[in-house]
Chain A
């Protein structure tokens, strides 16, 4: 309840709030309060934060259970998902974005995982949920949630990226913030049953080659998935980051299709039909197909290719500390496997240095990178370039456009450029 209040009362979800938040942050960079305080300290004046007894030093705070389900600090109120209303016709079939610029490490907190619904968030009591497996099987089966939780389960960390992540940038720099350009991604530890076990329980017939996964929501979302993938690494998950799935992520159960486009990770999973051919459903014909410049369209473009983005600094997270030692940080991922290397450039791709990779390196999961540099206050053009364990190198946007044109919508994994001005402000740009 308190979390609900936090979200709805958050002033930053409004347009003015967003601008105000941005202005405050930038103000700090160009000589606001932070700089002033730091100047006083330099001048040898003691900090009142240290010399004076502060309110929180003296008066006890809330006791236990003030928030039975804990919520973030009130000072983190602007770390929220945000949407871009003009993108879609109606919030019931829409998307919002993970605030990547405000996060570190590789785990996305459950309440910040971006949402994409086609028929709103279904609210389903676990006791009322059923998962049916039928079609080319020996025994068509119905599972309750209790049944599913009696199968052997596994824990695995995967990123989920919407195929349309960065899709608004095909024709050029458009949205000013990595939350909006790259925020249709999250990275979560799933607990679930390998789909393979459920299929084996039903007994898959020899001529089976495809399955159709269907959600129980009002869009009855469906996707065709090759049986080979289902038997490889798909999970039927009921927990995320240790707790139950959030309703907006498919509570009580969703499909996990590691490394493949998010639309296939059917939420509120209620049915799996086994067949010998794909179904060519709406979300794999009319949508989630990639139109090329020659008028042809690629279909079944499932894997999410190697990609990275610098999350900090970025337009929503300008450099506030002025010149001197600086650390840039970002995220890299590949739907093919592990990220092997990330290069970063601060001069728009003329010269590159290999970034420091955080040791956590699971396949098909986000990987965090850092790069320290001395900022002399001059203009920078920040870029990152990921390479995965199979040697896929993240392409430039120019390379992608020359191969595909500008109307693909999906699978834009091109190198992102952030311009850092002398003031520390950052803007989404494209460069020569």
Chain B
């Protein structure tokens, strides 16, 4: 059983997304007495003359309760009818008009308010098997109060979605999107409010970063080098750093924010990340003033020197792919093959030979 099924709820709280009209599940419980002869709902509810109504919201019409529905009801389901606040209200108002051929002999509820209240009541038994007695005693009965206990899912989970083709999943809440959506783009989209200067960044860096990345961004061991290397990209051993290689400053902010410090990711405040980013600019000689303060406001004004050197994938244009020559099969080389290079690392776990190895994975 998933956590969401363990909800203990104040019944009235289930009406969060219902339309403007105020509903009262408590009043709905009274209205439901009219239905009780044929329908059961709540803990242990079984089919009677009519199907049980647990989980009715989101159920396809004519399905879900192991009940022998009318052909008309099954057809309605096949045609796409799904029970939600609106469809159930329409049905309860004039059952025989809404589903011609329904087995339900009930004439209908005349008052809109009664319909709203009884649907609110029924909704409290959808997406949860919680019992009516789970209602905390002595609590407020006001219709807009929500008490959710022992769950990690918000109450809106209970509201059945009508999106898409399969109506699966639920609507993500703004707070949830905010919590996870921390990515930043080169155009500045996603930058949070905040600010931090080089000096503060230097303090943070010495405390949390220097142990791996070195006091000046030179990198300890095989940990990434962060600074220097400008002008080395055409060298035999290029040094790819923020200053020499990375195209966008947004990447620095984004990455430090999401994944650093290694072993304690997402522990830095927005201000800390601005300060560290400012300090990394300083280590790379892109800013020179220790008082320089980086913020959401001036972030986009900073360009990294190597931005212009990134190009699109041009592998398909390489001669060995464009030539389209039928590969040679015979006498393709004038001379017998001679070894010009051997595997230099015969022992794949060398000790003390770091200087000889090449091309580490990054």
Which B residues touch A89, using CB under 8 A?
212, 221-223
- Kindly supply a per-residue 1/0 record for chain B positions 156-181, scoring 1 wherever the CB is within 8 Å of any chain A CB and 0 otherwise: 00000101111011111000110011
Which B residues touch A298, using CB under 8 A?
310-315
Residues of B251-265 contacting chain A, CB below 8 A: 251, 254-255, 258-259, 262-263, 265
A403, B332: Cβ atoms closer than 8 Å: no
Give complex CA distance A350, B118 in Å: 84
Residue of A nearest to B252 (CB): A282
B248, A171: Cβ atoms closer than 8 Å: no
Which A residues touch B166, using CB under 8 A?
150-151, 197, 201
Which B residues touch A138, using CB under 8 A?
163
8 Å CB contact of A381 from B320, B328, B337:
B337
B345 CB within 8 Å of chain A: yes
Residue of A nearest to B182 (CB): A220
B330 CB within 8 Å of chain A: yes
Residue of A nearest to B248 (CB): A280
Which A residues touch B315, using CB under 8 A?
298, 301, 303, 305, 411
Which A residues touch B152, using CB under 8 A?
128
Residues of B202-261 contacting chain A, CB below 8 A: 212, 221-223, 233-234, 236, 238, 240, 242, 245-248, 250-251, 254-255, 258-259
B128 to chain A, nearest CB (A): 15
B2, A127: Cβ atoms closer than 8 Å: yes
Give complex CA distance A89, B361 in Å: 10
- Kindly supply a per-residue 1/0 record for chain A positions 223-254, scoring 1 wherever the CB is within 8 Å of any chain B CB and 0 otherwise: 00000000000000000000000000000000
B351 to chain A, nearest CB (A): 8
A351, B332: Cβ atoms closer than 8 Å: yes
A85 CB within 8 Å of chain B: yes
A142, B2: Cβ atoms closer than 8 Å: no
A171, B358: Cβ atoms closer than 8 Å: yes
A419 CB within 8 Å of chain B: yes
8 Å CB contact of A88 from B335, B340, B359, B361:
B361
Chain B residue total in the interface (Cβ 8 A)? 91
A295, B309: Cβ atoms closer than 8 Å: yes
A174, B357: Cβ atoms closer than 8 Å: yes
Residue of A nearest to B246 (CB): A286
A280, B186: Cβ atoms closer than 8 Å: yes
B176 to chain A, nearest CB (A): 7
Which A residues touch B21, using CB under 8 A?
none
B169, A119: Cβ atoms closer than 8 Å: no
B343, A302: Cβ atoms closer than 8 Å: no
A383 to chain B, nearest CB (A): 9
Residue of A nearest to B359 (CB): A168
Which A residues touch B321, using CB under 8 A?
392-393, 395
Give complex CA distance A127, B4 in Å: 10
Which A residues touch B165, using CB under 8 A?
197, 200-201
Which B residues touch A119, using CB under 8 A?
259, 262, 265
8 Å CB contact of A171 from B186, B255, B320, B359:
B359
A134, B172: Cβ atoms closer than 8 Å: yes
Which B residues touch A128, using CB under 8 A?
152
Give complex CA distance A19, B263 in Å: 34
A147 CB within 8 Å of chain B: yes
8 Å CB contact of B185 from A180, A277, A286, A403:
A277
B361, A286: Cβ atoms closer than 8 Å: no
Give complex CA distance A418, B263 in Å: 41
B20 CB within 8 Å of chain A: no
B79 CB within 8 Å of chain A: no
- Kindly supply a per-residue 1/0 record for chain A positions 269-303, scoring 1 wherever the CB is within 8 Å of any chain B CB and 0 otherwise: 01101010101111001110101011111111111
A399 CB within 8 Å of chain B: yes
8 Å CB contact of A177 from B258, B314, B339, B348:
B348
B133 CB within 8 Å of chain A: no
Which A residues touch B140, using CB under 8 A?
none
B341, A350: Cβ atoms closer than 8 Å: no
8 Å CB contact of B183 from A85, A148, A222, A293:
A222
A280, B185: Cβ atoms closer than 8 Å: yes
8 Å CB contact of B255 from A167, A275, A282, A385:
A282
Give complex CA distance A428, B341 in Å: 9
Which B residues touch A207, using CB under 8 A?
none
Which A residues touch B180, using CB under 8 A?
132, 214, 270-271
B170, A141: Cβ atoms closer than 8 Å: yes
A144, B359: Cβ atoms closer than 8 Å: no
Which A residues touch B3, using CB under 8 A?
127
B329, A352: Cβ atoms closer than 8 Å: yes
B16 to chain A, nearest CB (A): 16
- Counting chain A CB atoms within 10 Å of each CB, the highest count among B161, B343, B349 belongs to B343
Which A residues touch B333, using CB under 8 A?
348-350
A350, B332: Cβ atoms closer than 8 Å: yes
B168, A399: Cβ atoms closer than 8 Å: no
- Kindly supply a per-residue 1/0 record for chain B positions 27-58, scoring 1 wherever the CB is within 8 Å of any chain A CB and 0 otherwise: 00000000000000000000000000000000
A201, B163: Cβ atoms closer than 8 Å: yes
Give complex CA distance A126, B263 in Å: 23
Which A residues touch B168, using CB under 8 A?
143, 147-148, 150-151, 201
Which B residues touch A19, using CB under 8 A?
347
Residues of A337-370 contacting chain B, CB below 8 A: 343, 347-353
- Kindly supply a per-residue 1/0 record for chain A positions 397-432, scoring 1 wherever the CB is within 8 Å of any chain B CB and 0 otherwise: 001100110110101000001010000000111111
A164 CB within 8 Å of chain B: yes
B361, A279: Cβ atoms closer than 8 Å: no
8 Å CB contact of A86 from B310, B339, B354:
B354
Say whether, besides A139-B163, A142-B170, A295-B309, A173 and B251 are in contact (CB < 8 Å).
no
- Counting chain B CB atoms within 10 Å of each CB, the highest count among A86, A200, A352 belongs to A86
Residue of A nearest to B223 (CB): A89
A259 CB within 8 Å of chain B: no
Which B residues touch A194, using CB under 8 A?
none
A26 to chain B, nearest CB (A): 12
Which B residues touch A428, using CB under 8 A?
342-343
Counting from the closest, the 8 A-B pairs by CB-CB distance are: A348-B337, A201-B164, A428-B343, A89-B222, A140-B172, A430-B341, A176-B343, A395-B320
Apart from A174-B357, A305-B315, A409-B361: 13 A-B pairs, beta carbons within 8 A: A93-B262, A141-B163, A143-B168, A147-B168, A151-B166, A173-B342, A176-B346, A214-B183, A280-B186, A285-B248, A297-B245, A400-B320, A411-B315
14 contacts between A and B (CB under 8 A): A86-B353, A86-B354, A139-B171, A168-B357, A201-B163, A203-B164, A218-B265, A286-B242, A291-B245, A351-B332, A352-B332, A393-B321, A395-B321, A432-B338
